[in-house]
């Protein structure tokens, strides 16, 4: 599939839609969180972008291998049987709790067995029992384009590296990423690694951005110059970033090439800093 043009809306206008989608993704993650064997890396809780359907889908569970998914445009929670929709609930006008109970019922499990992942989330009325909004469909469509492009591009960038983890969306930060570990036999906190990912926005940036994060964090005084608009972020965490406003400043036909050059530059810089 081809690159989806980005920038129909200014990046700074996507915050409210992003927060609601982030909270709705907790419902998608709840299925793997509750019904699959726990994994040490929490991979049982993560999600993936299904390009063929244009949805963010969770892990398959049960004998029927049913998967929960989130349709961004309509803010719709669906249950997939393969690529077919078995059931759907438009979340507008419903609370997070109502979505959880509905999903448990469709899966045929007691509602108290389906629990949301436990981690800190950004403040939003939905998290305090408020209902999801039917507004901002245009913002959700734009965010779906960012997710689709990011997922496809990151997969392509790490495809030739056998150590790269699958490109997945993590419900805690709502980012899509792959992790490349340079020291396969070391403990996770000690192993050299770098993540290649995309965030739709967070506390660091109120807009989408691509990133490459080396670990352990390198000395901030010895960071090399990056290409194609990428720059180093050093407040709270260290990584190369390319923000949405830089991407959409270019014509649509040049966006993919710029993001690719920026991430490749950041990957090479990160590997050099880590001695990989």
Phi, psi of 86 (to 5 degrees): -90, -35
- Residues 131/208/170/83 CA torsion (nearest 10 deg): 80
Instruction: Tell me the whole-structure pTM to 2 decimals.
Output: 0.96
User: For residue 1, what pLDDT is reported?
Assistant: 64
Beta-ladder partners of 49: 56
> Could you tell me if 81 and 64 are in contact, meaning their C-beta atoms sit under 8 angstroms apart?
yes
**Angle (CA) 11 238 231, round 5°:** 50
Determine whether 22 is exposed, middle or buried from the number of CB atoms within 10 Å of its CB (0-12, 13-18, 19+): buried
User: For residue 185, what pLDDT is reported?
Assistant: 77
What is the C-alpha to C-alpha distance for residues 48 and 210, in angstroms, rounded to an integer?
17
Tokens of 227: 């290409």
pLDDT beneath 50: ranges in the chain: none
pLDDT tens, 54-110? 999 999 998 889 999 999 999 999 999 999 999 999 999 999 999 999 999 999 999
User: For residue 205, what pLDDT is reported?
Assistant: 98
Tokens of 75: 């803010």
């Amino acid at each position: 599939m081809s690159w989806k043009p980005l920038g129909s809306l200014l990046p700074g206008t996507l915050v409210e839609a992003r927060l609601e989608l982030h909270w709705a993704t907790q419902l998608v993650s709840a299925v793997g969180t509750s019904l699959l064997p726990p994994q040490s890396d929490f991979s049982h809780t993560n999600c993936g972008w299904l390009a063929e359907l244009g949805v963010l889908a969770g892990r398959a569970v049960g004998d029927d291998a049913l998967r929960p998914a989130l349709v961004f445009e309509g803010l719709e929670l669906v249950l997939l049987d393969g690529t077919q929709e078995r059931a759907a609930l438009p979340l507008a006008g419903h609370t997070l709790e109502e979505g959880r109970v509905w999903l448990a019922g469709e899966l045929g499990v007691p509602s108290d067995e389906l629990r949301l992942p436990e981690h800190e989330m950004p403040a939003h009325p939905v998290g305090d029992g408020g209902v999801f909004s039917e507004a901002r469909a245009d913002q959700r469509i734009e965010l779906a384009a960012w997710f689709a492009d990011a997922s496809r591009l990151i997969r392509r960038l790490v495809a030739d590296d056998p150590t790269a983890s699958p490109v997945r969306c993590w419900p805690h930060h709502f980012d899509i990423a792959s992790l490349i570990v340079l020291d396969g036999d070391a403990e996770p906190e000690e192993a050299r690694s770098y993540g290649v990912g995309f965030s739709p926005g967070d506390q660091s940036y109120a807009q989408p951005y691509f990133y490459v994060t080396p670990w352990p964090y390198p000395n901030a005084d010895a960071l090399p110059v990056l290409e194609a608009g990428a720059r180093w972020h050093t407040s709270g965490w260290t990584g190369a970033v390319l923000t949405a406003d830089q991407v959409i400043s270019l014509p649509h036909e040049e966006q993919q090439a710029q993001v690719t050059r920026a991430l490749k530059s950041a990957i090479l810089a990160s590997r050099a800093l880590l001695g990989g």
